[in-house]
């Protein structure tokens, strides 16, 4: 199973533009965005899905700090944003991730460009 986060992004093999980072989470600009502005927030320890998330006070704190910082930045700069998380068949990578996105959709669910 492909896990771009554990295989490439967390070890630093694929450089990403990091917005916010703690010892437990990373928030960075998507390398192949689906929206005009598209940020990904992940836990650094492998968790496969929000559906299997086991409550973790420290991780919750870091997730919400990352979400607050990114959504505030988008709200201040662009007037708003959306946050989402794919689960199960909707996940192309089986590593829990949040999306914060804003603006026009650039690619469909299949990854192909929308013209
Ligand atoms: Zn992983």
Note the pLDDT tens digit of each residue in 54-89.
999 999 999 999 999 999 999 999 999 999 999 999
- Let me know if residue 11 belongs to a domain: yes
Task: Give the count of domains, the chain.
Answer: 1
Look at residue 20 and tell me if it is in a domain.
Answer: yes
- The answer to whether residue 64 is domain-embedded is yes
Ligand 1 centroid distance, CA of 86 (Å) = 14
Residue 115 falls inside a structural domain: no
Question: Which CATH number belongs to the domain containing residue 18 in this structure?
Answer: 3.30.428.10
Residue 31, pLDDT > 90, answer yes
Distance CA 95, CA 102 (A): 22
85 lies in some domain: yes
* CA 15/CA 3 separation, integer angstroms: 15
Query: Distance, CA 21 to ligand 1 centroid (Å)?
Result: 17
Residue 84 placed within a domain: yes
CA of 69 to the centre of ligand 1 (A): 23
d(CA 3, ligand 1 centre) in Å = 5
b/e 65-100 (16+ beta carbons within 10 angstroms → b): ebbebbbebbeeeeeebeeeebeeeebebbbbbbbb
Instruction: Read off the pLDDT band of 111 (50, 70, 90).
Output: confident
Domain region containing 34: 4-105
43 CA from centroid of ligand 1 (Å) = 8
């Amino acid at each position: 199973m492909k896990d771009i986060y554990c295989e490439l992004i967390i070890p630093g093999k694929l450089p990403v533009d990091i917005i916010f980072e703690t010892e437990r989470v990373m928030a960075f600009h998507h390398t192949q965005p689906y929206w005009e502005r598209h940020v990904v927030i992940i836990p650094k320890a492998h968790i496969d899905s929000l559906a299997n998330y086991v409550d973790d006070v420290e991780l919750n704190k870091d997730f919400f700090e990352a979400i607050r910082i990114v959504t505030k930045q988008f709200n201040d700069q662009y007037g708003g944003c959306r946050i989402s998380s794919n689960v199960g068949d909707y996940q192309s990578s089986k590593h829990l991730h949040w999306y914060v996105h804003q603006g026009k959709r650039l690619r469909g669910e299949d990854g192909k460009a929308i013209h």
